[in-house]
Amino acid sequence: MGIAVAADPQLVLLRHGETAWSASGQHTGLSDIPLTAAGEDQARQAAAALAAFDFAAVYTSPRERARRTAAIVGHPDAVVDADLAEWDYGPVEGRTSKELSGLIGHDFEIFTDGVRFLPPDPERSGGSPGELLEEVRARADAVVARVSPTLEAGGSVLVVAHGHLLRVLATAWLGADPRLGARLELGTAAVCLLGVGHGLRTIQGWNLLPTA
């Protein structure tokens, strides 16, 4: 699957490839879990999908899984941006939604429940209490502000990061409530296209999954 390049500049989002924890459904924030062999294959497929783009700037999360994905898609020198790190899940780190649903007594949904309904755990995220959704959104807003001058100058930008962070980043691009991110499914190594149409920031493509 190749993705056609639009005439106007786009903010292109790429989630990292599969890891053991993404495959098992474990929340992976600060933990530096590497790509699986399947995840590396996904990244190579994403590289082919993005081959037609000539990005003016490329940014990546500091986590290994994102940096490795960026390297595989052809950008080993991507700028590392701490604001692109995944949501700090605090005591939720490493737990699955099924496990958390049992603990909270209803179906867990991170955009509503957050992560601070559990006390800090020294064995998870170094005892961090975890971030509020509003704090993740503030980082996403900072990324949008950082890439906007390049986009306004006519250059497209690639951002390689994580599932929840990128979903919040899309809401920041739109100026929408960050809880809208709950409705934006995003698979591993999926590509999303953000742009401008009729003077409005828009989603031009979402959760585009590369195929061999």
Predicted confidence (pLDDT) per residue in 85-132, tens digit: 999 999 999 999 999 999 999 999 999 999 999 999 999 999 999 999
User: What sign results for the dihedral spanned by CA atoms 207, 66, 10, 212?
Assistant: negative
Domains, in order of start, for the chain: 11-89+132-208 (3.40.50.1240)
Q: Is 162 a catalytic residue?
A: no
pTM of model > 0.85: yes
Average pLDDT over residues 4-33: 96
Largest CA distance in the chain: 50
pLDDT at 167 over 90: yes
Per-residue pLDDT band for 16 (boundaries 50, 70, 90) equals: very high
Q: Is 185 a catalytic residue?
A: no
- Catalytic residue from among 18, 27, 75, 86: 86
Q: Which of 125, 96, 105 is nearest to 117 (CA)?
A: 105
- Catalytic residue from among 16, 27, 75, 162: 16
